[in-house]
Each structure stands twice: as structure tokens, then as C-alpha cells.
Amino acid sequence: MTTSMKLPFGTITITDTAKRLITASLESGRVSCGTLVRDFEDRFASLLGVNEAVAVSSGTDADILALAVLHDLGASRSDEVIVPALSFVATGNAVVHAGFKPVFVDIERDTLNIDPTAIEAAITEKTRAIMPVHLMGKPAEMDTINAIAKRHGLLVVEDAAEAHGALYKGRPAGTLADLAAFSTYVAHIITTGEGGVITTNSEQFGEILRSLRSHGRNCTCKHCIMNTNELTYCAKRFRGKGGEDVRFTFDRIGYSCKMNELEAAIGIGALEIYDSILKKRHDNLIHVLERFDRFSPWLSTFREEPQEQIGPHAIPIIINEGAPFSRTQLTQHLEKNGIETRTLFASMPTQCPGFEYLGYKSGQFPVAEYVGKNGIHVGVHQDLGIEEMDYLLCCINSFCNDNY
């Protein structure tokens, strides 16, 4: 095996533009949600070609607010949202925090995404939305999901947390449903350090989202100047009964999850180099995927299909049935050789104790449960290259050949 390398799972690129904007923001004394956040939102919306992008403090908050829009559409707090059984736990948590009950559906082994053939059996009279996850940046089968939703009058929200750069039949993730929720956490392609973004083409939803992120306040103007140095009078603010300031009237139960200016500055810098980051990560991902069959039948991963482009978040690896080693053994080998790993999440309803109250039993989600016990993922970020990807392949190969 070649000389040992270090392959950390994630990275963050903070550009000179970001540093300049951060310094200017600090010097201005205005660091709460303001002009930089709006600039970041406008750039994010333009990148995807959507009408609205609303920045929030995390990808989880993006999921929560996208679902909380349902309350304005008449949903009740006992209603249900269908989600895949396997995802980062934030997906299930968001449904609960938005005031709904998560209803879980098993996944497909080859895509790691929700099994669209199992969705309709989970729909009840209380179902209000379907939230598919583009896990590891691989697009879910959105045409089928949207058709099901249309038949049953349901909202569709993409959990696109890991799907920056993903394409489904030529269309980017974030444009494939009624709303979409992205994470801009440090390990993601477009990062703000911490943060998230909700995208939609609905002006109505955009106004609701801006209200929700700020306590449910009435003031939802897209270009509100309340957090800038400008002191220009705004007549819209004083449109309430008796002329009161509508920033202090509240139309709905809301949250406090605005993105701040410093985070937005990092995001603006990331968007300036988005294309180069995306290409580097996608090249890394495809290099490994095209060479992964050598580990069959013991290990497997997903594939990039002709109708899609995977958003290159990470490389999933599943230890298959019959392999003469465990996930722990493979993980320890990789970690000892400088390759940082993450488990491939868990079956939320049956492997995450927080959801025990829902009454699901082990065995109800066999595919998700298997992947939750036997899956890992490793990084493909822009600070790595083909040499590091070859080192990863070499480490896995030596593990398989030298020990089993």
C-alpha cells in the first residue's frame, strides 16, 4: 500500500471574499440577518432558478419551516408526514418539531432513498405531506413521488440537505417539489458554517417562511431593512390597526432561526467558487464509483444513473451479507490508516430510541435496518483529489485481500 495519507471527512473553504465581507460586517456592528443574508438568498435562488430562497440557521430548521407551512394550509398538529426510515435523524426530528407525526417507509437498497412503491400504503386520512430525502446526494424518484402526492392532494418537500449539485432528469434538486430544504453545514458543498436554505417557487410560501423564521411575525417583506444601517422610514411597517408596527404583531406560531451576516458571508464566498467545488467533488466520487465493483460481493455502493447527477456529498459503503468481516473491522482499518468515516445513519423508527414512542418494532424496515447496521460513508470533498481516492481504494483493497 502507498504511503499513509489523511482523508478527513469534511472541509470548509473560506474565500477572500468571505473574509472581506465578514470584516466589513463586524466593523459595521450589524451582524444579525440583513443585507448579506439577502444577497446570499438571491444568489442561491438564482443558482437553482427558483423564485424564493429563505436562509435559516440550520438544515434541520429548513426542514421544520418547510413543513410548518402546512399549518397555513389548514393542517392540524396531529397530522402525518411520510418520510424514509433511513436518514440523518434530523429528518424525523423536523417532522416532530413542526408539529406532526412522522410515518416511516422503508428504503431501496440500491438507491438508499425512500421506496416509492411503498408510499401509498402509508397514506391515511391524516397524511399531509411526503418528504423524500436525496440521501448522499442521490436524487429520489421524484416523478413517481409527485404523481402519488398529486393523486392524494399532498404537499411534497425535498429534504435536499446533502443534494447540492444533484440533477434529476436535467432539473436540479431544490426545484423538484413544492418546497425543498438544504443544509449549509460545514461539510456540505455550499456551506455557511452552520445554516440552511428553503427554496420554493411560491411567493406565498416565501412570505410564510420569512414569518416563521422570525417568531411568526406579521412583517414578511422580502427586502425588509430592519437589520441594516439604513434608517429609511418604511410605511409597510406601520400598516397595522391604529398604525402600529407590524414587526410586533404575530400571525402564527413561529421559530427563531434566522441566518446571520457572518454565515451569509461564508456562503457568498462559497457560491463564487461553487462550480469548481462541485466538479472536484463529483470527479472524486465518480472515480471511486467506477472502480468499486472490484469489492463485490462483500461491499457495495450506489451508482450514478443516466437520468441523474449525484450531488457529491460522500461515498456510501455497505458491508453485504456474507462478508467475512464486520462494519467495525472495516471502520477501524480505515480510521487507523487516516481515513475518517461516518456510519450511514440508522433506521429512525427502530434504531433511534427517541422514536420508540411511535410503537414501531424491529423488523418492520428490513432494508433501512440492515443499512443502519452495516453502512458507512467517507468524504469526497474539494481538499481531496484522485490521489486520495486511489488511496481509499487501495486501503479497502488491502483490507479485503490481506485479511480475508
- 188 is annotated as an active-site residue: yes
In whole angstroms, what is the distance from residue 178 CA to residue 176 CA? 7
For the beta sheet containing 196-200, the strands, ordered from the edge strand earlier in sequence to the opposite edge, are: 52-56, 196-200, 179-183, 155-159, 127-130, 80-84, 101-105
Q: What is the pLDDT of residue 308?
A: 98
Number of neighbouring beta carbons within 10 Å of residue 262: 18
Residue 236's CB is within 10 A of a number of other CB atoms, namely 12
> Of 72, 318, 348, 11, which Cα lies nearest the Cα of 212?
72
d(CA 10, CA 27): 30
212-261 pLDDT tens trace: 999 998 876 665 544 555 556 666 677 667 767 777 788 899 999 999 99
Residues present in the chain in total:
404
Name the 3-class secondary structure at 93: helix
- How many whole angstroms separate alpha carbon 123 and alpha carbon 332? 41
Count of Cβ atoms closer than 10 Å to residue 263 Cβ: 25
Residues of the chain with CATH 3.40.640.10: 16-271
Residues of the chain scoring pLDDT < 70? 1-2, 220-236, 239-240, 243, 403-404
Report which secondary-structure segment, H or E, holds 275.
helix 274-289
Among candidate residues 71, 134, 164, 188, the one labeled active-site is: 188
Q: Where are the CATH 3.90.1150.10 domain residues in the chain?
A: 275-403
Could you tell me which CATH number the domain at 275-403 has?
3.90.1150.10
Instruction: Write the DSSP string, 8-76.
Output: -S------HHHHHHHHHHHHHT--SSSHHHHHHHHHHHHHHT-SEEEEES-HHHHHHHHHHHHHHTT--
* Dist CA 156 CA 146 (whole Å): 7
Hey, what CATH topology would domain 16-271 get? Aspartate Aminotransferase; domain 2 (3.40.640)
What is the spatial distance between Cα 72 and Cα 211, in angstroms, rounded to a whole number?
11
pLDDT at 249: 82
Phi, psi of 87, deg, nearest 5: -170, 170
Distance CA 305, CA 312 (A): 14
What pLDDT is stored for residue 225 in this prediction?
47
Q: What is the CA radius of gyration of the chain?
A: 22
Q: What is the pLDDT of residue 224?
A: 55
Which ranges of 317-404 does DSSP label H, i.e. alpha helix? 327-336, 348-351, 366-374, 386-403
Nearest to 107 by CA among 76, 86, 123: 86
Fill in the DSSP letter of residue 140: P
Q: Could you give the CA distance from residue 296 to residue 350 in angstroms, rounded to a whole number?
A: 28
Cβ-based neighbour number of residue 330 at 10 Å: 23
